[in-house]
């Protein structure tokens, strides 16, 4: 089967999957369903061109004909190494924070880790296997508010949001896009909670946490937008951060595809 047929079939499959990915927020379709197929198609096409036209000496010939190609390869290598370094640092810091907090906490029968403080604290620690840490102050909340706080953190843990935050923190170019992404995660979980609790109860719990401890139960800076969405008055959140993240992934995708193909050619 020719490469063109493979590309057409891949485009159809990716478009079908992209339209059905759960990347919607309040009926807004994210353009990632169109950008992601394009990115992968470019990757597959570059690999096909390399396999079809490069021989063992092809790299040398290409560098002689197009010196800029070497700069592009060098820049992509530096970018991949930087992302890898930041990932390692992020994992180490997350692990250190997890050890520090769990050392101060006691594990309850329901799997929560409880800190001996009356302050309102609720958070996830860990990246791949997150654990929920709450304070004794949270456990003393009224039943509805306590359930809202714990289930909110359970949603974060189930979706591995700490790991998603680490990745997007590396890929997003501006602080504003990163803050929008964090707000998106919180609104996503608030909306899931609204299936079990009234938006009014969720909003009251948010306000209580924001007044008592701004660093807990989500980000205080996103409080207004979260309450507006719960009240049905919020505007659609600008989700350009997902499109930017995909674009920032393109150098990594291209680099992995190119180097893996080059190694395969050398082995042959």
For 46, the token pair is 């570059």
Give buried/exposed letters for 25-50 (b at 16+ CB in 10 A, else e): beeeebebbebbbebbeebbbebbeb
Backbone angles phi, psi at 24, to 5 degrees: -120, 150
Higher local confidence (pLDDT), 176 or 8: 176
3-state helix vs strand vs coil in the chain, percent to 5: 70, 5, 25
Q: Is the pLDDT of residue 233 over 70?
A: no
Task: Give the best-scoring range by mean pLDDT among 43-52, 193-202, 209-218.
Answer: 193-202
pTM (predicted TM-score): 0.63
Lowest mean pLDDT among 21-35, 51-65, 143-157, 214-228: 21-35
The confidence score (pLDDT) of residue 61 equals 46
How far the first Cα of the chain sits from its last, in Å, is 22
The confidence score (pLDDT) of residue 58 equals 46
- The rounded distance, in Å, linking the Cα atoms of 156 and 153 is 5
Mean pLDDT of the residues in the chain: 68
The confidence score (pLDDT) of residue 22 equals 43
Q: Is the pLDDT of residue 69 over 60?
A: no
Q: Is 135 exposed, middle or buried (0-12, 13-18, 19+ CB in 10 A)?
A: buried
- The rounded distance, in Å, linking the Cα atoms of 244 and 174 is 10
Positive or negative, the CA dihedral 223, 225, 229, 232 is: positive
The confidence score (pLDDT) of residue 215 equals 47
Grouping H, G, I as helix, E, B as strand and the rest as coil, residue 106 is: strand
Sorted by where each begins, the domain ranges of the chain are: 105-237
Place of tokens 């654990």: 131
Q: Is the pLDDT of residue 71 over 60?
A: no
- Percent above pLDDT 70 for the chain: 50
The confidence score (pLDDT) of residue 87 equals 85
Q: Is the pLDDT of residue 204 over 80?
A: yes
The confidence score (pLDDT) of residue 104 equals 87
Lowest mean pLDDT among 5-14, 154-163, 221-230: 5-14
Q: Is 102 exposed, middle or buried (0-12, 13-18, 19+ CB in 10 A)?
A: middle
Backbone angles phi, psi at 126, to 5 degrees: 100, 155
Q: Is the pLDDT of residue 225 over 70?
A: yes
The confidence score (pLDDT) of residue 216 equals 45
Q: Is the pLDDT of residue 192 over 70?
A: yes
The mean per-residue pLDDT over the stretch 159-177 comes to 77
The confidence score (pLDDT) of residue 42 equals 53
Q: Is the pLDDT of residue 2 over 70?
A: no
């Amino acid at each position: 089967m020719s490469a063109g047929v493979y590309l057409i079939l891949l485009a159809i499959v990716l478009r079908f999957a992209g339209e059905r990915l759960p990347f919607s927020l309040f009926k807004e379709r994210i353009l990632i369903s169109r950008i992601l197929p394009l990115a992968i198609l470019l990757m597959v096409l570059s690999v096909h061109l390399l396999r079809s036209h490069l021989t063992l000496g092809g790299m040398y010939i290409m560098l002689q004909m197009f010196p800029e190609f070497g700069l592009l390869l060098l820049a992509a290598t530096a970018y991949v190494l930087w992302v890898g370094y930041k990932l390692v640092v992020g994992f180490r810091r997350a692990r250190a924070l997890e050890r520090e907090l769990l050392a101060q906490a006691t594990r309850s029968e329901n799997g929560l880790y409880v800190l001996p403080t009356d302050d309102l604290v609720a958070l996830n620690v860990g990246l791949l296997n997150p654990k929920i840490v709450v304070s004794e102050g949270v456990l003393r909340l009224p039943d509805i508010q306590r359930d809202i706080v714990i289930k909110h953190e359970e949603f974060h843990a189930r979706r591995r949001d700490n790991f998603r935050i680490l990745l997007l923190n590396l890929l997003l170019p501006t602080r504003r896009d990163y803050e929008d992404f964090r707000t998106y995660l919180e609104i996503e979980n608030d909306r899931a909670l609204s299936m079990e609790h009234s938006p009014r109860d969720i909003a009251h719990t948010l306000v209580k946490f924001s007044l008592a401890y701004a660093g807990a139960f989500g980000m205080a800076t996103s409080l207004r937008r979260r309450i507006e969405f719960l009240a049905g008055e919020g505007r659609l959140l600008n989700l350009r951060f997902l499109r930017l993240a995909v674009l920032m992934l393109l150098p990594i995708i291209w680099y992995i595809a190119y180097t893996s193909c080059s190694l395969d050619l050398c082995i042959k």
